[in-house]
Amino acid sequence: MTQTENAPDLPLAGIVVVDLGQYIAAPGAAQTLADLGADVIKVESPEGDQARGIGVYGEAIMRAYNRRKKSIVLDLKNDVDLGNARSLIRHADVVVHNLRPGVMDRLGLSAAAIRELNPTVVLASVSGFGTHGPSRARPGLDIAAQAETGMMSATGETDGDPQRVGFPLVDHATSYVVAQAILAALYRRERTGLGDEIEVSLLDVAVDLQCVNWGEYGITGVVPRRSGNGQPTAAPAADIFRTADGSIVVSAYTAARFEQLCAIANCPELPKDPRFADNPARVAHRAELLDALSPFFSELDTETALQQLTSAGIVAGAVRSYDQVLTAADVIASGIFATASSVEGAQYDIPGLPYRSQSTPRNRGAGAVPELGEHTGEVLSRYGLVDHATVH
C-alpha cells in the first residue's frame, strides 16, 4: 500500500483509508485513523460533504472530523470517476462510509463488489437503524437514535419534556466504535491475511451506551424515567449543589463517604436520621437530603468546596462552562486541545486523541481541514488515474 506522508513510526503509517462518509460518524472514524497516521482520502461529490453547506454547525463538523485528510472530488454518477473510485478501493486498506442502505449497491459498490475489487480490504459501513430490520432504509441521525433507544426518555427533569443530550453523543460514540472495529479487523488481517466487513448502527451504539440503565432495569423491572440530576438508585450521587459563585456536582453514596460528607458539611447527625440511613432511604428522601446539605455549599465558592471534598476523597466536580473548561488547569495540563487550521487557514483549537501514547505524540498538532477537492490532482496522479474533467 502507498506510504502515508505522516511520520513513519505512527501506528497506522502506510495504511490507506478511503472515506466516503458524510457528517460525523464515518468521517469521525476516519479522523481517528488519520490521527493514528493513516493516509485518509476523503472522496466528496462535486457539492462536497453535506456538512460543508449547513452553516456554523457544518463548519464545526468539518473542523472536528475532517482534519489531516486529502479531499478529492469524484462524481460517482460519472463513469470515469466511478472507475477512479474503484481504483482507489483496489489500493485501500480500509473503506468507510455512512451512505444510506442501497446507495452503494446502486453505484455498483456493494459489499460483495468491493470484496471482489479488493479481497483483503476492511469495509466499514454505518447506518441509522441497521440493515436487517424494518427501518433499514430510514435516514438516521443522532437525534433519532437518542429518541428511539430510551435515551431521551431518561434525560431531563421529572415533570419536564424528554431531553436530548446537549451534543451529538451517539454520532461521536459511533465514530469510536467504528474505529475500534476497524483496528481489530486490521490486526486480524495481519494474522490471517483476511479482510472484513463491519456494520455499525447508531441504534446499536445508543442502546449500548446505556448499559448501566439496562442493568438496573433488568434487576428492578422498573422502566428508567427522567429524574433530573441525581442517579435514580443512589444518593447523593450526581447531585447538584449551588455554591456562592456557581455549582458543584457531588457523589458520596457509600456509607463511609456519606458520613465523611456530612462531617465536612457540619451535619454529623444526618447518617443517624432514619430518612438517610441507607441508599434506598436517601433516594426516597433525596429532596430533604439536598436541603439539609445545601447551606454548607451555598456559603463557599466552588473551588473551595471542591478542595474540601476532594481532599477527603469524595468525588466532586465544578460545573464549568466551555470558556471555563479552556482555562481549567487540569485541561491545560492534559494537552487534549491541539491547534488546527480551517479551510480558510484560520487557526483554532480542537480536541485531539483523548489519550496519551508514546507512538502518537500530542505535539503533532491537529492538522488542517482540506478545501473541497484540494488534493484531487495529487491523489489521482499518485494512482495513475485521470480526472474526468480532462476526458473529451
β-strands 315-318, 337-341 pairing: unpaired
Q: Please tell me whether residues 308 and 378 are part of one structural domain.
A: no
Indicate whether 137 belongs to any domain: yes
- Residue after which a domain boundary falls, among 286, 319, 352: 319
Q: Is 70 left (phi over 0), alpha (psi -120 to 50) or beta?
A: beta
Burial of 210 (0-12, 13-18, 19+ CB in 10 A): middle
Q: Please tell me whether residues 155 and 304 are part of one structural domain.
A: no
Query: Under a CB-based contact definition with an 8 Å cutoff, are residues 72 and 38 in contact?
Result: no
Indicate whether 37 belongs to any domain: yes
Q: What is the pTM of this model?
A: 0.92
pLDDT for 102 equals 87
Q: Please tell me whether residues 179 and 246 are part of one structural domain.
A: no
Residue type, 197: E
Within a 10 A sphere around the Cβ of 255, how many other Cβ atoms?
12
CA-based end-to-end distance of the chain: 31
- Residue after which a domain boundary falls, among 270, 296, 319: 319
Active-site residue (options: 39, 49, 171, 239): 171
The answer to whether residue 171 is catalytic is yes
* Helix/strand/coil for 113: helix
Q: Please tell me whether residues 143 and 268 are part of one structural domain.
A: no
CATH code, 177: 3.40.50.10540
Q: Please tell me whether residues 48 and 190 are part of one structural domain.
A: yes
Q: Please tell me whether residues 178 and 244 are part of one structural domain.
A: no
Residues 350-362 pLDDT 10s: 999 999 999 998 8
Q: Please tell me whether residues 37 and 173 are part of one structural domain.
A: yes
Half-sphere exposure of 168 (CA within 13 A, CB side): 19
Q: Is 150 left (phi over 0), alpha (psi -120 to 50) or beta?
A: left
CATH code, 246: 3.30.1540.10
pLDDT for 392 equals 45
pLDDT for 390 equals 63
Query: Under a CB-based contact definition with an 8 Å cutoff, are residues 262 and 252 in contact?
Result: no
Closest to 75 measured CA to CA, from 101, 102, 44, 50: 44
Indicate whether 307 belongs to any domain: yes
Domain enclosing residue 274, as ranges? 239-319
Residues of the chain with pLDDT under 50: 1-5, 392
Indicate whether 334 belongs to any domain: no
pLDDT for 2 equals 39
Total domain count, the chain:
2
Residues 6+ apart with CB under 8 A from 203: 128, 129, 130, 140, 145, 148, 149
How far apart (Å, rounded) are the C-alpha atoms in residues 317 and 309? 9
Residues 66-114 pLDDT 10s: 999 999 999 999 999 999 999 999 999 999 999 988 899 999 999 999 9
